[in-house]
């Protein structure tokens, strides 16, 4: 599969087939093409050559309505958490369930009870039940990202696309957020495609590592069969 933006050949013949429930880490330097790849999976970009199949659907061939339907099956986690800072953690998580409701809601008690229970459960699953009534702009970065993950869980997604989810967090919070995502993926069975700058984090949490450089996959391997040394060597060889 290829993706060009004008003369910029951003993805140059990449092939990737993730297995259901797999945690795939896309590692690589800035500009390697990781975000572009994730955008191709959610229908934000269209491949210049080759096809993309996401949950059995080619997003490029979807009508707007089908693309919306496909995106309800895909959870997103971004570097900027995308929370409403002045609202509580619980309200932010409830907003993840809005897709199932006809009307916008104003205040926790206007949400159906079943949804409130699920939101509380999801906050508990990310370890933040005690913080549910706290404004999210008063939480730490790691806590905010875990609220965003709890909000995403409301969707019951089959695939989660995480674009640099820990880029703005310190190392300890990064590990905690990624381990939470990994645990939830194992429990619920959703597949994760996660772009990361840090190879050490990818080694800690992923099932599979795909190293990207200049739009090519220079390594695609089960995480258990590689280590930091091999990945560094592969990058050094790709540079020369």
Ligand X SMILES: Nc1ncnc2c1ncn2[C@@H]1O[C@H](COP(=O)(O)OP(=O)(O)OP(=O)(O)O)[C@@H](O)[C@H]1O
Would you tell me which residues interact with ligand X (CB under 6 A)?
A: 5, 8, 10, 28, 30-36, 195
Cβ nearer to ligand X, comparing 28 with 43: 28
Least Å distance, CB 205 to ligand X, is 18
Pairing of strands 2-5, 8-12: antiparallel
- Residue 215 CA to residue 232 CA, distance in Å, equals 17
Least Å distance, CB 234 to ligand X, is 16
Cβ nearer to ligand X, comparing 40 with 123: 40
Least Å distance, CB 188 to ligand X, is 26
Cβ nearer to ligand X, comparing 121 with 214: 214
Least Å distance, CB 35 to ligand X, is 3
Dihedrals φ, ψ of 94, to 5°?
-60, -35
- Residue 52 CA to residue 237 CA, distance in Å, equals 29
Q: Which long-range contacts (CB under 8 A, 24 or more apart) does 163-166 make?
A: 163/34, 163/35, 163/38, 163/76, 163/77, 163/78, 163/79, 163/195, 164/34, 164/35, 164/78, 164/79, 164/195, 164/196, 164/197, 165/77, 165/78, 165/79, 165/194, 166/79, 166/196, 166/198, 166/201
Cβ nearer to ligand X, comparing 105 with 197: 197
Cβ nearer to ligand X, comparing 143 with 206: 206
Least Å distance, CB 239 to ligand X, is 16
């Amino acid at each position: 599969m290829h993706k060009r933006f004008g003369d910029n050949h951003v993805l140059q013949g990449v092939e990737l087939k993730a297995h259901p429930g797999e945690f795939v880490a896309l590692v690589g330097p800035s500009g390697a093409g990781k975000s572009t790849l994730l955008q191709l999976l959610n229908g934000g970009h269209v491949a210049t050559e080759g096809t993309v199949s996401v949950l059995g659907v080619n997003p490029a061939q979807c009508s707007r309505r089908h693309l919306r339907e496909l995106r309800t099956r895909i959870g997103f986690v971004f570097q900027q958490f995308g929370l409403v800072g002045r609202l509580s953690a619980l309200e932010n998580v409830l907003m993840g369930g809005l897709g199932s409701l006809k009307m916008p809601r104003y205040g926790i008690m206007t949400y159906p009870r079943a949804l409130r229970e699920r939101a509380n459960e999801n906050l508990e699953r990310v370890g933040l039940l005690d913080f549910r009534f706290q404004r999210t702009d008063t939480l730490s970065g790691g806590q905010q990202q875990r609220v965003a993950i709890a909000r995403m869980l409301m969707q019951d997604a089959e695939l989660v696309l995480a674009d640099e989810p820990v880029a703005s967090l310190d190392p300890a919070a990064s590990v905690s957020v990624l381990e939470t995502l990994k645990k939830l993926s194992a429990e619920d069975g959703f597949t994760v495609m996660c772009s990361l700058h840090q190879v050490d984090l990818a080694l800690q949490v992923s099932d599979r590592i795909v190293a990207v450089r200049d739009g090519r996959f220079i390594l695609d391997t089960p995480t258990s069969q590689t280590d930091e040394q091999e990945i560094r060597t592969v990058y050094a060889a790709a540079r020369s």
